[in-house]
Structure 1
Amino acid sequence: MEEAAATNCSICCCTTVNKIVMVVFMIFLMFAILFGNALTLAVVLGTKHFHTPHGYLKASLAAADLAVGLFVVPLSVYAEMTLMLTDAAPGWTVRNSRHTPLHPCSVIGPVFAGCTLVSITTVFLLTIERSVAVLKPLHKEAVITKRRTSMLIVFSWTGSFFLALSPLIFSRKLALEYNACSRMCIYALGATEFPRQAWHIILLFPAFDFTLLLGTIVTNIISFTTIRHHSKKRRRLAQAGCQSTSGPSFSDIKAAKTIGALTLVFTASFTPVAVFVVGNVSGNEWCNFSFLAFWLLAASSCWNVIIYSVRDQKFRLRARQLLLFSKTKTSSP
């Protein structure tokens, strides 16, 4: 037992100080995710200016991130606080979903995986939407409609959660467990080696992630190349005393750059988990890396509101108005 505990002892929980820091970090992250994404939804849904296909996609991304703060992180906080205060972990944390009826990870695991896939898909759709605005500005309103965007959002949620549940649907060898290294609900195997079928199924996640991320990066490169070309053209025309009426608008260019920043953050957050999954299938436990990878991924759920606040002036002003109104309403008698 001591040897097993030492094997699963990651940097987060080997000492009392580390455990306290870990729980404080989890609680802070939970409230940051809840506050940031609730604010994003309030701004997007409560402001007519954001009732656009672009705004709908932002709301979808915020909803997926909000679910992480509502369901995924609180379960980890509960498990770790119980362990820290009573020196005994809840019984379900030492058994997987195949051996425990109504195991919490049976719900939380697919929610985390599904919301992660929704986030990746939504960032990809945001990139495509901005690329159309940059590459084909005259056809933007005809190609990108609210109806089509809403259908794509429904499809992305449905497809993402089907993919998240696919390991449980297509393999009886896989289960969900509260992992002692990552301190989260993840997919696990009861055997010592991965059967070939389970190996293929579990690799669906990094394959899907890297395919969409690669497509997102390539699309961003094409968009930024076009933006650079139009910027040079506008400068030449401005020096000649002419004014360009073609090409993307400044608001579309700024929005494309915002989505580019969002892509960089999400790529940096998703890549470690994908690498860990591939390494885990190959037989590597990587306990410390597991904790860092999964919680870096969870932390990405509060980055969107930070990026919008820095890059989007209209979003920043509207968010400030909502916060000031809420503060004034709370302080009034």
Structure 2
Amino acid sequence: MQQNHSVTEFILLGLTQDPMRQKMVFVIFLIFYVGTVVGNLLIIVTIKSSQTLRSPMYFFLFYLSLVDFCFSTSIAPRLIVDSLSAKKIIFYNECMTQVFALHLFDCMEVSVLILMALDRYVAICKPLHYPTIMRWQVCTILIVLAWVGSFIHAIAQITLALRLPFCGHNLIDHYCCDLQPLLKLACMDTYVINVLLVSNSGAICLSSLVILMISYIVILHSLRNHSAEGRKKALSTCTSHIIVVILSLGPCIFIYTRPPTTFPMDKMVTVFYTIGTPFLNPLIYTLRNAEVKSAMRKLWRIKIPTESKR
């Protein structure tokens, strides 16, 4: 593997160079990050503490919230701190670590969304076989495979990043480290690496969206045979999933399935799926899910008397 030590640090340009706008970025994204942490941790604690949220659907929702928390934490704190810094320096090793974390948690989120779609497909289309197919052992194995697959994907991405030689240019026109902005700094022909990037990340995003959309079309088609009440409940759950799928995969497809061309909206699209989506997911799943809201209320009622007695 080609090693290069001529560049030990990069300088991030961030979202804006205007001091007033940088303060706005600090306030806005601090609120978003705090909301992401609180929302996802609340779902994690609720699912772990509740006796009613024991189905495979909530098992997968637990991991989606965990991944959203980790995904946002790998990007947002750095963006928040940098918004108040005159010179946004990120060391080479830290930059490579961020590339790895970004792709690990992004791929894991997509994998969990696919598993959630699988769970809904079995529950709605094969209800009699649901307890047999979606056993806890099966769900655990699926989650482990999702982590392994995401790790392999992240290793592939970081391997491409580590092979890039840098010959002095270290100004990254972005707020985080990713392969696309790094490709522009490399002193080599990056056509082959970009093809590998598109065939890896781009193919994963696009194929995942196709799989998910086909699965939900099949699910929605099969709802014709259900009762009105069952149809309403299934539609509510599936609608939440479809919204999250579009919010998660839409920006990824825009970023990773095209030639190495820069568009003015690239940064904002990346902001949306690295910070906006982890913030919105807890809201979507709690506001549209009566069982989660009920479990949260019960948990809150238990905690308040316990604290007041002390």
TM norm. shorter chain > 0.5: yes
2:247 aligns with 268
Q: How far 1:276 moved relative to its partner?
A: 2.3
Structure 1 residues 320, 181: CA separation in 2 closer, same or farther (over 3 Å shift)? farther
Q: How far 1:214 moved relative to its partner?
A: 1.0
List per-residue Cα deviations over 1:31-66 (Å, max 9, x = no partner): 111101101101111112222222211111111011
Q: How far 1:120 moved relative to its partner?
A: 0.9
Partner SS for 2:178: strand
Residue 269 of structure 2 corresponds to residue 293 of structure 1:
yes
Written as runs of structure 1 = structure 2, the 5 A alignment for 1:133-144 is: 133-144=123-134
Do the aligned partners of 2:99 and 2:158 also contact (CA within 8 Å) in 1? no
Unmatched tracts of structure 1, length 5 or more: 1-7, 98-102, 236-248
The one of 176, 186, 197 aligned to 2:178: 186
Do the aligned partners of 2:75 and 2:98 also contact (CA within 8 Å) in 1? yes
Partner SS for 1:90: strand
The one of 70, 86, 92 aligned to 1:67: 70
Kindly tell me the number of residue pairs found equivalent between the two proteins.
292
Identity of aligned residues (%): 15
Residue 30 of structure 2 corresponds to residue 27 of structure 1:
yes
Do the aligned partners of 1:273 and 1:290 also contact (CA within 8 Å) in 2? no
Q: Is 264-273 or 53-62 further displaced after alignment? A: 264-273
List per-residue Cα deviations over 1:221-276 (Å, max 9, x = no partner): 1101111x124xx47xxxxxxxxxxxxx82x8625632432322332343223222
Structure 1 residues 196, 69: CA separation in 2 closer, same or farther (over 3 Å shift)? closer
Partner SS for 1:50: coil
The one of 276, 284, 290 aligned to 2:261: 284
Over aligned residue pairs, what C-alpha RMSD do you find? 2.8
State the TM-score, normalizing by the size of structure 1. 0.78
Larger radius of gyration: 1
Do the aligned partners of 2:26 and 2:81 also contact (CA within 8 Å) in 1? no
Do the aligned partners of 2:25 and 2:80 also contact (CA within 8 Å) in 1? no
Q: How far 1:15 moved relative to its partner?
A: 2.1
Structure 1 residues 51, 303: CA separation in 2 closer, same or farther (over 3 Å shift)? same
The one of 280, 285, 291 aligned to 1:303: 280
Q: How far 1:27 moved relative to its partner?
A: 0.9
Amino acid at match of 1:305: P
Query: How far apart in 1 are the matches of 2:192 and 2:261?
Result: 17
Q: How far 1:319 moved relative to its partner?
A: 1.5
Unmatched tracts of structure 2, length 5 or more: 1-11
Query: How far apart in 1 are the matches of 2:80 and 2:171?
Result: 14
Residue 225 of structure 2 corresponds to residue 226 of structure 1:
no
